[in-house]
Chain A
Amino acid sequence: MSAPVPPPPAPRSDQALYVGLAGIATTGFGLMFSPLKMVAFAWLVGVMFWTAITIGMLLLVLIHHIFDASWSTIIRRQYEHWLSAFKWLALLFLPLLVLSWMPRHSGLVWSWMDPATPLPGGHGTVGTDVLYVKKSAFLNLNLFTIATIAFFAVWVFLSCKLRKHSFAQDADGDAVWTLKNRWWAAAGIPLAALSLTFASILWVKSLEYHWFSTMYGVWFFSNCVRGALSMGVLMMLWLYHRGDYAGLLNRNHLHSIGQLVFAFTVFWGYVSFSQYFLIWNANIPEETFWYNLREQGDWYWVGMLILFGHFFVPFLYLLSYKHKVVHAWIRPIVIWVLALIFVDICYNILPAIKDARGDPLPFLSLTLLWSLTAVIGVGGICVWAYLRSFPTTKLIPIRDPRIAECLVYHESSHE
């Protein structure tokens, strides 16, 4: 056996911070070209994209503990590092909250926040809209603020617990930390499920508050997990090629996570198809308008892109074993999936910006550009948070009860 290979030097985090700040600054710069409303929507896209992925990672850690899983031990530590981004995401959400409280701009993003917002087509204002009045017990600024704070509080709290217990185990190797995390996973899954559901309803679905769908929380959940798994694959490959994971990561780990990427592709397809299909089949105007709007202009092609790109392409691609385990094959598809999650989130958020006739503004516009810069900005901050946490612990949870099982994880391989 050759001599132990020392780990490569810890990655630098400041570059990610600069990228993040540059992205944020560029998005802010967008105010010179686009109205505040467009930039605010773009910012919402950026924050939602990374919040979804981070929630997904939280869920994956919780699910790992509840299943007493072994193979995912190798990636769990990276997720735990990433979870430190929640507090920054809360901070980055703050501008939207502040904007909502500014009397002049309230209602800019969530139109129901300002009773004076005119309804499209000259049908009065939000304040006189019976559909709003009926919902106002839920859709109001106070509840929105409290709920937003509560969601982030739940996520930050669960992340802190999971991180603390996992890191503490590195030091003393006590199995009780695993049991504690398992307990928190059991308690945390319902909490996380409820918070992500209502976050998706309040932050995204209520942008067009006339529309309703009971499936919405499940749709958001599927994107969260897909995003987290895709980022997980990218982190695995990055650490492998940097040298950290060399000798640790084997193709069965990739096969397992690849199967999950595949499974959640199917799950996303199932949820999205069911939602669309039931609305299509029943053909009730109060539901179909949401999709009708999204067949206007270039949004139709965005819908097609999502149908084929977010489902069929990854589905067919990931059927193959090779495409799940060969680095050069799995990397492009998870990047593609991440890109399509971005498109899917745009599809749910951006058509809420309407012109005077009530038609959505086109997808290909400056708003899309600012959405991209917002994604880069918020993403840079998340990556920075991850990289800052990265050197504070061991690369893998060395005292985890399942780590040995994970490292020799095999299905049919034998040396």
Chain B
Amino acid sequence: MSAHPDSAAVGAPAVLAEVKPAVLPRPVLVANNRNYTWITDKICSLIEGPTPTWWWVCFIVAIFVASFTIAGLTYLVGTGVGVWGHRSPVNWAWDIVNFVFWIGIGHAGTLISAILCLLRQKWRTSINRAAEAMTIFAVACAGLFPLFHVGRVWMAWYLFPISNANAIWQNFRSPLEWDVFAVSTYGTVSVCFWYVGLIPDLAVLRDRFTLAGHNLRAWLYGLFAMGWRGSNRHWRNYEMAYLILAGISTPLVLSVHTIVSFDFAVSLLPGWHTTIFPPYFVAGAIFSGFGMVLTLMLPLRAIYHLEDLITQYHIDNICKITLATGTMVGYAYAMEFFIAWYGSNPYEGFAFINRAFGNYAWAYWIMITCNVITPQFFWFKAVRQNTTLVWVLSIFVNVGMWFERFVIIVTSLARDFLPSSWGYYSPSIVEIFTFFGTFGVFSTLFLLFIRFLPIMPMAEIKAVTQQADPHGGGDRH
């Protein structure tokens, strides 16, 4: 038993002699005590091996689904934004719902890579790469909706402060303008973070392809590996940079969804203007993102036999975070309802009664069931250990969070202050196709990712194995 006191030459305090920890081993992060070589081979083999048949099948299906988005958007550009179902008073609907939905999914990726990195949760290493990829692809899908909702998409550069012929500037008082900056910063920083994480692994692939004589592939991976050679002088700066990126990504991910919530909360509309929106949206985003992580990782784990790298412990943790954030979202629902009553504003009170019992009540109760009740199953170990059930529940989470945005956006707009202007919104077929297709866009990108890039950060996984501790943490010493 040795301690590392600040000042040298202090005798060990007497209490140290009594320290005799109870035995409660921590779960191992890489099961079956796999060594470095196994980890490298396992992850690289997914790229080096022949393309599996299932991949082609999925890829073709994904491309087919993605074509719906392309068709929908082409039709929209050719005809006008009126092909979507928005009518006064509901001028924001599926487009913004889908935008917030996809952005929210992206947030789990940043959360896993950044916040869990800062909290030193080492279990993140098995899932962070895929989760970060998910972030980038989700942000890409999210960006499509507001971009095309502006109507004349070729004028989208008006959103950026580039001086134009009218000599007026963007309205920086508008949360929509903040969104432009938030989402583009988020996309850029996520790509940077992802790429920095990839560099050491690209070097691994470069070296393996060089040995195997695949010169073109070695050259391509080598180009992006930047000449990485694992120098410890480099690792020192690299680790610091990675930590800083994690450090800034954490407030970034919070701010992005905060600003998304500002889109609603700075307005005066009952049901939108409430001060808890920022943390509530962030909790919801993390919740939906972790749902999506489960949806994506569980099939991958089964197909690629990654049980040694994504262990039951990983699944347990993701389920628990889903439970925690789902319950936080439940807290926010309750708080909104309570304060709507406590605030005694009749419009606010009506907005909430209308949500629960009005003509969109079906959406509200789907939301409550999926977001508040579904995660409560994760209290039970038996549920968490049943992978199929966890996967099914994760789908419910995804559905529930889509409905949450739908409920917030559409119910408040459809029933605003004047009964004479009330309306009922239904999506048009173009809208439905466009949204449906984004799942194809997302899947296509994700399939390309798992085919061509290492789906797990090899260097980071090796660093959390027991044998990586030079001071004898493992049983080898």
Interface residues, chain A, CB within 8 Å of chain B?
A: 1-7, 67-68, 130-131, 134-135, 138, 169, 173-175, 177-179, 186, 190, 193-194, 197, 201, 212-218, 244, 246-252, 259, 263, 266, 270-271, 274-275, 277-279, 281-282, 284, 286, 394-396, 398-404, 407-410, 413-415
Contacts and interface: CB of A to CB of B under 8 A. Distances in A.
A7 B1 CA distance: 18
B12 to A, nearest CB: 5
A282 B18 contact: no
A394 B276 contact: no
A53 B331 CA distance: 22
B273 A4 contact: no
26 contacts: A1-B12, A4-B11, A4-B12, A5-B10, A5-B11, A7-B13, A173-B22, A190-B327, A193-B331, A213-B275, A215-B276, A246-B10, A247-B5, A247-B13, A247-B16, A250-B3, A250-B5, A270-B254, A271-B279, A281-B262, A282-B265, A282-B266, A394-B18, A396-B19, A401-B24, A403-B21
B286 to A, nearest CB: 15
Interface in B86-140: 118-119
A131 B118 CA distance: 46
Q: What 3 A-B pairs have minimum CB-CB distances, sorted nearest first?
A: A214-B276, A401-B24, A2-B11
Interface string B261-300: 0100111100001111111100000000000000000000
B412 to A, nearest CB: 14
B4 interface: yes
Contact of A414 (B251, B273, B471): B471
B375 to A, nearest CB: 12
A398 B19 contact: yes
B17 A4 contact: yes
Q: What bracket does the count of chain B residues touching chain A fall in?
A: 35 or more
Interface in B289-330: 327
- Select the residue from A169, A173, A244, A270 with max chain B CB neighbours within 10 A: A270
Given A178-B22, A214-B336, A282-B273, 17 more contacts: A4-B13, A7-B14, A169-B22, A174-B22, A175-B22, A177-B22, A197-B335, A248-B16, A270-B254, A270-B279, A277-B266, A398-B15, A398-B20, A399-B21, A401-B21, A401-B22, A413-B4
Contacts of A249: 5-6
Interface of B: 1-7, 10-24, 26, 118-119, 251, 254, 258, 262, 265-268, 273-280, 327, 331-332, 335-336, 339, 342-345, 379, 471
A250 B15 contact: no
A135 B344 CA distance: 7
Contact of A5 (B12, B19, B118, B345): B12
Contact of B5 (A218, A246, A402): A246
A407 B16 contact: yes
B19 A407 contact: yes
Contacts of A408: 2-4
Q: Which of B1, B18, B258, B262 has the most CB of A within 10 A?
A: B18
Contacts of B268: 282, 284
Contacts of A3: 11
Contacts of B1: 404, 407
A408 B332 CA distance: 40
A67 B347 CA distance: 42
A398 B4 contact: no
Which of B5, B251, B327, B331: most chain A Cβ within 10 A?
A: B5
Nearest to A194: B331
Interface of B is mostly: loop
Given A246-B5, A266-B251, A271-B279, A214 B335 contact: yes
A282 B336 CA distance: 17
Contacts of B17: 4
Contacts of B274: 214, 278
A218 B282 CA distance: 13
B339 A213 contact: yes
Contact of B266 (A6, A130, A275, A278): A278
Nearest to B272: A282
A186 B345 CA distance: 36
A166 to B, nearest CB: 12
Given A4-B14, A134-B344, A197-B335, A274 B22 contact: no
Contacts of A197: 331, 335
Nearest to B279: A218
B275 A278 contact: yes
Contacts of A282: 265-268, 273
A169 B18 CA distance: 13
Given A218-B276, A246-B5, A274-B278, A398 B24 contact: no
Nearest to A138: B342
Contact of B258 (A248, A274, A400, A415): A274
Contacts of B19: 396, 398, 403-404, 407
A4 B16 contact: yes
Nearest to A216: B275
B275 A279 contact: yes
A1 B17 CA distance: 12
Contacts of A1: 11-12
A399 B18 CA distance: 8
Contact of A410 (B4, B118, B327): B4
A215 B275 contact: yes
Nearest to B121: A67
A147 B470 CA distance: 54
A49 to B, nearest CB: 23
A274 B280 CA distance: 12
Contact of A284 (B4, B254, B273, B335): B273
B383 to A, nearest CB: 15
Contact of A402 (B7, B18, B21, B471): B21
B416 to A, nearest CB: 15
